[in-house]
Chains A and B, each alone.
Chain A
Amino acid sequence: MGLVEDRERFREVGEDRREDLSAFITHGDLGGSAPDRIRIPIKVVDLPAFEYDRRDAGGVGQGRGGQPQPGQPVDPQPGDGDGSEDGDGDGDPGEEGGDHEYYEMDPEEFAQELDEELGLELEPKGKRVIEEVEGDFTDTARAGPKGTLDLDEFFKRGLKRHLATDFDGEYVREGLFVAGADVDDVFAWARGKRIPVSRAWIADAATEVEAEIGGPVAAADRWASFAALESVIDHEPVAVRIRRDGLDGVPFRREDERFRHPEVIEKRERNVVVVNVRDASGSMRETKRELVERVFTPMDWYLTGKYDAAEFRYVVHDAEAWEVDRSDFFGVQSGGGTRISSAYALVAEILEEYPFDEWNRYVFAAGDSENAGNDTTEGVIPMMESIEANLHAYVETQPGGSAPNARHADEVERALGDVDNVAVARVAGPEDVTDAIYRVLSTEDGPDGGERR
């Protein structure tokens, strides 16, 4: 199609063939320039045109909250990578700029970019076992090249099927001669004896019998009852019959075909469970909650991008802890006090579902560092030590710096600051978010994930 070709031509713009255009290529950002947005670099080729000098032209803006004073600088300064500025003035009605608020980026790309941006190089560890090909032809599958058809298996399955479906027709037929027994009675009786016969087969047989005796089967009374029949004639098992008559025909079916294929060799899947913990007590007001979201969301994304499989669990707590959905996690606020150890108790419980030898485990907790009495030293720290995880992080969100009675972060840092798998980060405002993410993600213990000090 035309567009495929157009895309190919576009790729070549700036390369050998259309080198003349390389001067007009800019690598713009998709999604605007605000710091909390994710930038996606794209190649843009702007053909030159007669334009006004930007500085000479000036422009019109709209003040937010009141008219600005002449002389004050324009914020943000116009023209710095503002993609929505509609510079080429093209007029597609219906193209819509708006919606930039969501982090909707491919997590793998995001992880890659964050790696580049922050100089991180987190090598995910393989844990749970998943399959991977290569080995001897000892396993079988339902499809494959004819040459690998497993004849033994094929025959065995056919035989099994034969055994499972064959039955002693004469024996069942005899049931029709029981006094007063109609088709349904015979069917119930046969089934009761686990003879794999269908009702239709019996009905057919009954028609034959009726033709034979010239009356309804119920009238046939060779046997007084089924019990009388059974006492005289034995049901002959199929195996006996095959041994006697030989195997005249094994019903081979396509579905019995098994093809040999190489044995599966185990490979480790890199999977991760992240438990996000958040203080939801009364002191966690909106700005603090928002800071938590700003730190946690990218970290979750990062780990999603780094691992083959990622699971997330969300725990909020005040003096008690409970598990919530992601949709509620960042919004919940309760009134109560704070006991952070309650959350770790729940975390330990949750993590039992994810054995540490199969899962990479991350525990991210956030709050304003306020905690009850000596809960940190007596409750939290021992638990952080006992819960096995690649990383325990505590992110303190305290807009405007720390408060006097907020010591949790300090105490954790003092006790565990030099432990490889513990990170403490402090966020006072949006500008600290990137540093905090870096601090947390660049802390992790050794490559095997298991070793602890």
Chain B
Amino acid sequence: MRDDRLEAKREAATLAEHAAAARALAERLGLEPYPVRYWVVDHDEMNELIAYEGFQRRYPHWRWGMNYERQRQTDRHGLGKAFEIVNNDDPAHAFLQESNTTADQKAVITHVEAHADFFANNRWFGLYADRGADGPNAAARLERNADRLSAIADRPDVDRDAVERLIDAVSSLSDTIDQHSPVDAARGAEGDGPGRPSDSDASPADSAAELRARIAELDLSEAVRRDVFDEEWLAGQEGDAEPDEPRPDVLAFLRDHGKRYDADSGKAVDREPWETTVIDAVREEAYYFAGQKSTKVMNEGWATYWESVMMGGEGFAGPDEFLTYADHMARVLGSPGLNPYKLGFELWTHLELRAARRDVIDRLLRVEGVTPDTFHTRIDLDRVAEALAPHPAIAGAGPATLDDLAALAAAGDPRVDSEAVDRALSAREGDLDPDDAPDIERHPWTLLTYEGLAERHYVLSRPEHRGALRSVSRATLAERARYMFDVDRYPTVEAALADVDRTAGWERMFAVRESHNDVTFLDEFLTDEFVREGNYFTYEYSRAGEEFRVASVDADDVRRKLLLRFTNFGKPTIVALDGNFRNRGELLLGHRYNGVALDEEQAKATLERVFELWGRPVNLATIRTEYAEEEVRRAKRRGREPTGTEAGVRFRYDGEAASEHALADDLVALIAADDVDYDTKPDEWLA
């Protein structure tokens, strides 16, 4: 054991140096990450962390055991290598596996720095993070939940299985939250604070919940709590359970108005306070993970992009490590299925390319005599490409170009870090101890500023994107020209190019990473060009063929289909419609029908979990498409798809049996959305 720790320490010492260098580079590239604490762990500790979704402690639940078993098998059989775990927190905590190669560790560190930047700057993470002065404080919160819930499970008066069952039930609904709002929107912020929505917004139900939360915060013993704040008193503080508006945060609604079914009396009884604590804890964590789930493509793509700039572009991987790194990258990007790393990486690159191209086009269109029609004939794009290539001293920054850089620095060039150049020169002349000078052999980036690095990595000068200007369509040009005022004309192409902003691509990326989530990201940046070049397509199930078939290669279709996959975590939207359905205290949930039906088996099973949180009969309104047998037979014979009819249906579960009922028309109208269509089937399948 002691030996292990020694090894980890030795590893940690070498890694600390890399981490510091990576941080310096990341900041120079314009990233603003949370501070990152790196931990070196052995593979078993790594497996545990993966089991706990990146944290050291979680509340007791069999799911972590399952994760661990799976991860251990994966690890043991070498089926997947765990490289890194980083959690969204300020400071972020990242875990490195000590047995990995230095090349892998460096790749992980650069990747992690970019993730930490994303955590710190993305608005959707902010939903959870902006909770007062102490930031997200996630590890501490999760740890506190772990403490609370294990204390509850250990209580002699509480049945441990009941706690587990309750966690199961809440977990089943962990995606039925209002992911677009902060976790505290439905109740008061813990520990008070100005971050809380103003009282006027809070519905009565919310304030009751807040009350409960505050009482929970007081940490009173159960006896006192029951005496002073008994359920009757609390009930008096609550409003009624009929939301005026459908409530997307179903979990909060159940927490505030749900009861527990008591098998002995056959009645719904008020929950024990510990039950509310459990529901609250699991719900809060669902909000924490919502930020990650809703930005998976962006976040992984972002980290992969900057990892490649740092490791490959800036030589953070030493020459001897580069192959290992390239192999690592190829595996990350090559893993099958819809791969968020790859999709995200490609989208970010595409976005950068388009922003840079737009900047160049805007300038070229302002050259005297250039119009969308004459663009391709009047401008020699080969010469443009040459002119856009980075300055040789910038591109090859390092010991060899030090004198050239010094000359640029003397002229006040903003692309060069004149102080670093000065120190490097002094070291070369022997006036400065080399230990105090930047190591420009290994870290040439220290000689350049953000502007310099932007020029060095300018997207339009990368070989694979050289043709990007040539392929721009006349329609695109015309559209750009339409919004251009007839001012600031350039006399020559050269003059226009001199003004090109090499940071345009990165600046756009920074802006997008602040405000977007996966849904808006895909919606806005999944262009026709992207779909065409990536060979993306949609598929649909053919009932006649009894198999999935390629349905469309149209960019709009692909985008819509992808959005279905990412909107609301790719899950159907379920809302609480009525807490006193049919005036019998039954719960009515509604599936906001967007043309895609529910998985009925799962929906019914989930409804049984909802019952555990409501205590009285529960209902779910949805719409499904029904196909008459005769119609299916006929369609098959004729080789076409059968036509079905949409019908409203209500599933009900009363604690013992499930039943199906027709859905009243007004409810059908309430849950059906009319402006969304995710069906991308062509009118006629090709034979």
Q: Do A104 and B78 form a contact, CB below 8 Å, given A2-B58, A91-B296?
A: yes
Residue of A nearest to B562 (CB): A60
Q: Are A6 and B60 in contact (CB under 8 A)?
A: yes
Q: B74 contacts which chain A residues (CB < 8 A)? A: 30
- With beta carbons under 8 angstroms apart, the residue of B60, B85, B609 that contacts A9 is B60
Q: B558 contacts which chain A residues (CB < 8 A)? A: 60
- With beta carbons under 8 angstroms apart, the residue of A6, A61, A85 that contacts B62 is A6
Question: Which one, B350-358, B462-470, B567-575, is touching chain A?
Answer: B567-575
Q: Are B82 and A77 in contact (CB under 8 A)?
A: no
Q: A90 contacts which chain B residues (CB < 8 A)? A: 53, 289, 293
A 83-108 binary contact with B (CB < 8 Å = 1; else 0): 01110011111111111101011100
Q: Are B61 and A9 in contact (CB under 8 A)?
A: yes
Q: Are B77 and A40 in contact (CB under 8 A)?
A: yes
- With beta carbons under 8 angstroms apart, the residue of B70, B548, B552 that contacts A78 is B548
B332 within 8 A of A: yes
Q: Do A58 and B164 form a contact, CB below 8 Å, given A50-B572, A98-B335, A102-B78?
A: no
Q: Are A50 and B606 in contact (CB under 8 A)?
A: yes
Q: Do A9 and B164 form a contact, CB below 8 Å, given A50-B574, A51-B571?
A: yes
Within 8 A of B (CB), among A174-201: none
A197 CB to closest chain B CB, in angstroms? 42
Q: A105 contacts which chain B residues (CB < 8 A)? A: 77-78
Q: Do A59 and B561 form a contact, CB below 8 Å, given A9-B65, A52-B571, A70-B682?
A: yes
A405 CB to closest chain B CB, in angstroms? 40
Q: Are A93 and B550 in contact (CB under 8 A)?
A: no
B178 within 8 A of A: no
Q: A82 contacts which chain B residues (CB < 8 A)? A: 337
A2 CB to closest chain B CB, in angstroms? 6
Q: A57 contacts which chain B residues (CB < 8 A)? A: 564-565, 596, 678
Question: Which one, A41-49, A221-229, A297-305, A420-428, is touching chain B?
Answer: A41-49
Q: Are A67 and B549 in contact (CB under 8 A)?
A: no
Using a Cβ–Cβ cut-off of 8 Å, how many residues does chain A contribute to the interface with B?
Answer: 76
Docked Cα-Cα span, A349 to B337, in Å, equals: 50
B267 within 8 A of A: no
B651 CB to closest chain A CB, in angstroms? 11
Q: Are A71 and B535 in contact (CB under 8 A)?
A: no
B573 CB to closest chain A CB, in angstroms? 9
Q: A47 contacts which chain B residues (CB < 8 A)? A: 168, 171-172, 609
A69 within 8 A of B: yes
Residue of B nearest to A84 (CB): B337
A53 within 8 A of B: yes
Residue of B nearest to A72 (CB): B550
Q: B537 contacts which chain A residues (CB < 8 A)? A: 60-63, 67-68, 70
Q: Are B171 and A43 in contact (CB under 8 A)?
A: no
Within 8 A of A (CB), among B88-115: 111, 115
B599 within 8 A of A: yes
A91 CB to closest chain B CB, in angstroms? 4
A58 CB to closest chain B CB, in angstroms? 4
Q: B50 contacts which chain A residues (CB < 8 A)? A: 92, 95
Q: Do A94 and B570 form a contact, CB below 8 Å, given A49-B172, A51-B598, A69-B686?
A: no
Q: B564 contacts which chain A residues (CB < 8 A)? A: 52, 57
Docked Cα-Cα span, A71 to B534, in Å, equals: 19
Question: Which one, B419-427, B430-438, B538-546, is touching chain A?
Answer: B538-546
Residue of B nearest to A78 (CB): B548
- With beta carbons under 8 angstroms apart, the residue of B81, B175, B296 that contacts A99 is B81
B338 within 8 A of A: yes
The B interface is mostly helix, strand or loop, or mixed, namely: mixed
A238 within 8 A of B: no
A73 within 8 A of B: yes
Q: A98 contacts which chain B residues (CB < 8 A)? A: 80, 331-332, 334-335
Docked Cα-Cα span, A48 to B61, in Å, equals: 16
Q: A213 contacts which chain B residues (CB < 8 A)? A: none
Q: Do A44 and B66 form a contact, CB below 8 Å, given A54-B599, A60-B338, A98-B335?
A: yes
Q: Are A50 and B598 in contact (CB under 8 A)?
A: yes
B596 CB to closest chain A CB, in angstroms? 5
Q: Are A92 and B54 in contact (CB under 8 A)?
A: yes
A326 within 8 A of B: no
Docked Cα-Cα span, A3 to B44, in Å, equals: 12
Q: Are A6 and B81 in contact (CB under 8 A)?
A: no
Q: Are B338 and A49 in contact (CB under 8 A)?
A: no
Docked Cα-Cα span, A21 to B608, in Å, equals: 12
Q: Are B60 and A2 in contact (CB under 8 A)?
A: yes
A38 within 8 A of B: yes
Docked Cα-Cα span, A52 to B564, in Å, equals: 10
Q: B682 contacts which chain A residues (CB < 8 A)? A: 70-71
Q: A170 contacts which chain B residues (CB < 8 A)? A: none
Docked Cα-Cα span, A77 to B542, in Å, equals: 12
- With beta carbons under 8 angstroms apart, the residue of A42, A52, A63, A72 that contacts B549 is A72
Q: A72 contacts which chain B residues (CB < 8 A)? A: 549-550, 686
Q: Are A62 and B534 in contact (CB under 8 A)?
A: yes
A31 CB to closest chain B CB, in angstroms? 5
24 contacts between A and B (CB under 8 A): A3-B48, A5-B60, A8-B65, A10-B66, A21-B168, A30-B73, A45-B63, A53-B600, A54-B599, A56-B541, A56-B625, A57-B596, A58-B551, A58-B679, A60-B562, A63-B535, A69-B550, A70-B686, A71-B549, A72-B550, A73-B547, A74-B539, A95-B80, A99-B80
Binding site for A on B (CB under 8 A): 48, 50-54, 57-58, 60-66, 68-70, 73-74, 76-86, 111, 115, 146, 150, 161, 164-165, 168, 171-176, 289, 292-293, 296, 299-300, 303, 331-332, 334-339, 532, 534-541, 543, 545, 547-553, 558, 561-562, 564-565, 569-572, 574, 591, 596-600, 602-603, 605-606, 609, 625, 678-680, 682, 685-687
Closest 5 CB pairs of A and B: A104-B78, A71-B686, A10-B65, A48-B605, A63-B535
